[in-house]
Structure 1
């Protein structure tokens, strides 16, 4: 039981040792401990402020990135529309040129056909004319007495005539 009720001398010496240690700690240790705690508190507060600042910057960058993505999508859609318009324009121009070329080819072909037709008609007229002259010449060389004899001779010459 003596541990539960200490003597007055032990109590005084213990109190004196406590006060000496307390004043030594107060003079040398407490300022360093308080300074370290204050530095740590300031460091933590600075880190929290920096984290909040970074969080705000990240939110701002995210908003800017979303705005940039929207703008990029709009530009892409515009570029696709312009490309489609250009493609359609080129196709329409090519069709128009093809139509013009086809019309020119058809017109040239019709002109050529008409020229060849006229040449063939002229050639045929020339041949018919030569044939008529040839038959007329033969008729005139031979004097025929009767009309029936003349018709028979003309028919014979017409059958013998060579059509070139």
Structure 2
């Protein structure tokens, strides 16, 4: 029963040993333990700050990337519009050039056809005139060889001529 009701001497020695142990722990163990706890606490706080900074930096990078993507899309769309406008302009210019060339070729063809037509008509007239002269010459030769035919021809011409 001595353990349940301790004596004054036992309490004294237990208190003395406890105070010595407490002093030794305070001098040698608590400072390093508290220092390592502070270091660990500081390390955790630093890690949290770094994580927050990294998170903010990641958000900033993400926003920058989105801006760059939006800018790239806008530039791509602008390039596509410019390309389409340029293609439309080239097509329109080609159509205009083709229609002008077609009109020029058509006009040249008309002029060439008119020129050839005029030459053909002139040739037909010359041929007709030459044939008329040849026929008249043959008729006159034939009729002029016969004296009665000559008289008959003179009479016909005189009938056709009216005297005033």
TM-score normalised to the size of structure 1? 0.80
Q: Structure 1 residue 25: deviation in Å?
A: 1.1
Number of residue pairs aligned between Structure 1 and Structure 2 = 148
Given the alignment of the two structures, is residue 78 of structure 1 paired with residue 91 of structure 2, yes or no? no
Q: Structure 1 residue 118: deviation in Å?
A: 1.1
Q: Structure 2 CA distance, aligned partners of 1:115 and 1:133? A: 27
> Which range is displaced more, 79-88 or 137-146?
137-146
Q: Structure 2 CA distance, aligned partners of 1:60 and 1:102? A: 62
Kindly report which structure 2 residues correspond to 1:11-160, keeping only aligned pairs within 5 A, or say none: 11-143=11-143, 145=149, 146=152
Unmatched runs of 5 consecutive residues or more in structure 1: 151-164
Which has the bigger relative contact order, CA under 8 A and spacing at least 6? 1
Q: Structure 1 residue 2: deviation in Å?
A: 4.6
Q: Structure 1 CA distance, aligned partners of 2:99 and 2:3? A: 122
> Which range is displaced more, 121-130 or 65-74?
65-74
Question: Could you list the per-position Cα deviations for residues 112-146 of structure 1 after superposition, in whole angstroms to 9, with x for gaps in the alignment?
Answer: 11111111111111110111111011012122624
Q: Secondary structure at the match of 1:4?
A: coil
Q: Structure 1 CA distance, aligned partners of 2:64 and 2:101? A: 54
